[in-house]
Amino acid sequence: MSTDNHIFERDLTGSASVSRQYTIGSHFGAWEMGFKVRDAHKSSHFFEPTFDTNRPFTSLAPLTQFVGSTANPNPGYYFGNYQLLPLTNFNNILSYFNANRSQFVETVSFEHLISDSNDYTTRERVVAGYVQNTITIGHFKVLGGLRIEGTQASFVGTQAIFGCPATFNIPNCTPKEPITGDSKFQFDVPMPGAQTYTNFLPSVQVQYNINGSTNIRAAYGRGIARPNFSDLPPFQSVESGRFIPRVTIGNPALRPTHANDYDLLFEHYLKSVGIVEVGWFYKDLSDPIFQIQTTLPATDKNFPNFQQRQPINGRKAHITGIEFAWQQHFNFLPGLLNGFGVSANYSYTTSQAKFPIDPNTGQPTRLDSPALLRQAPNNWNFDTTYDKGPISARMGLSHNDRSIFFYNYQNPAAPGTPSLGGINGPNGDQYYYPHTQVDAQVSYRLPHGHGVHAILSMLNLNNEVFGFYQGSEQFPTQREYYSRTISVGLRWTSGSGDVK
């Protein structure tokens, strides 16, 4: 028997808008209004059969009975520095199970625990309307608007009930007892919930044109980020086969994140086809959503000592940074050299997140203020380009600093008691490795090909590592090497021409 997981998702979207231009004296303007409707529905039905053996552990078949080839399955693993042991073959395991079916007992209660609790249905409908106006007055161009969004969300999760809890009237179930770790499955209880809220989201942008080729822009906007509506039902996803078992649960109380965004941008257009930009931004977030991992106590009735993951709202967060960009085509150079160009950008970003208050202790669930998830301090890209005649080529170097993938660090058990290794120890947050990658692509328009281009793409030429570590790079949890990806193909575009 195998896992049977059915996920259904349907999204319907419709929108309409109307605009009109106008003049007031020597001032030119335009107004626009419109609306948009999105209706989404997602459901999950999950079943994972589980079995246990009724034979003594010492009488089980040895692992060597299920291995595949005894040869090293991957001689190039970690560049040949390590030799893998022979791996098990799933077909051998399945054959043994089918031939010895009477030796295995289906663990029905655990099946309901890990399967039924993953069943949910969610619906979300967003109705939005906006109005905006743009007007130019001398060197100034002002754009202002207001968007109104109404959200209706509903969901039904599933709670698997075990034992004979007194809060449920279960026929022929005595005595009425609390749920315990060895209780038997009784029935499923639908867990409905709903969210309805309306947001008013204003925005304004002012542009000042200094001399026809240089602009300064200042902008403010308020935005919203809704929870993943599959995170709202009170589901339970259990991974019991791990070294440290884990349960992931939903959160019906999740609130959307709101942001006040402030931006300031200086841009200068170069005479030789190019632009230089310098910008600053600041985003003030309320109710940010975090994926939090905690360890359940040994006394938990269903998941003792499990790691528990759950999305929660923090108190607040902010992110600020500066960014630079330069893009230029060197068409002032002589001959074949005028096909060269460059595209480069760099950003430095910093952020802080404030975690929620624990109602049991009155203290924040985390005392420090870590960076936001996937926010890397230094990010940059440098691309050299060549576009002339039938040739279009790119070679790029991109870099992303390390960033937090998952919050894992927890407050020490008692004030003043250091955690093992602290924030940079093996129980620290889970990080992405820093990543620097080289990519290239060349396109050649075939002569008399009527818009047919031959394309050569080369990704990850330097075979950069991808993976995760806990706290510091000396505590790796996953490292992946993908080598280079090279592809060759043809592309047809109508009406294409040469770049002169």
The answer to which of 361-365, 423-427, 443-447 has the lowest mean pLDDT is 361-365
Q: Tell me the two tokens of residue 84.
A: 């893998």
pLDDT band at 78 (very low <50, low <70, confident <90, very high): low
- For residue 215, the model assigns a pLDDT of 95
Answer for the pair 397, 382: CB distance below 8 angstroms, yes or no. yes
Q: How confident is the model at residue 179 (pLDDT cuts 50, 70, 90)?
A: very low
243 compared with 450, residue with greater pLDDT: 450
CA distance 404 to 452: 44
**Can you give the pTM of this predicted structure?**
0.78
DSSP assignment string, 140-154: EEEEEEEEEEEEEEE
What average pLDDT does the structure give for the chain? 85
**If you count them, how many residues does the chain have?**
500
| Residues 6+ positions from 329 with CB-CB distance below 8 Å | 272, 273, 274, 340, 341, 385, 387
> In this predicted structure, what is the pLDDT of residue 133?
96
Which residues, other chains included, contact 413 with Cβ-Cβ below 8 Å and sequence gap of 6+?
none
Question: What's the pLDDT at 259?
Answer: 96
**What proportion of the chain, given as a percentage, has pLDDT over 90?**
46
Phi/psi for 318 (5° steps) reads -145, 155
How far apart, in whole angstroms, are the C-alpha atoms of residue 78 and residue 83? 9
- How far apart CA 45 and CA 8 sit, in angstroms, is 9
Highest-pLDDT range among 75-84, 191-200, 213-222, 331-340 = 213-222
User: Domain residue spans in the chain?
Assistant: 4-49+106-433, 51-105
Residue 225 confidence (pLDDT): 92
Weakest mean pLDDT among 245-249, 281-285, 426-430: 245-249
The per-residue pLDDT for 180 is 47
Of 388 and 69, which is predicted with more confidence? 388
Least confident of 234-238, 401-405, 415-419: 415-419
Whether 414 shows a pLDDT value over 70: the answer reads: no
CB 222 within 8 A of CB 202: yes
Q: What is the CATH number of domain 4-49+106-433?
A: 2.40.170.20
pLDDT recorded at residue 169: 55
Q: What is the mean pLDDT of residues 94-102?
A: 83
Indicate if the pLDDT at residue 224 is higher than 90. Answer: yes
228/267 Cα distance (integer angstroms)? 36
Token pair, residue 95, equals: 């054959």
Is 265 a residue whose pLDDT tops 80? yes
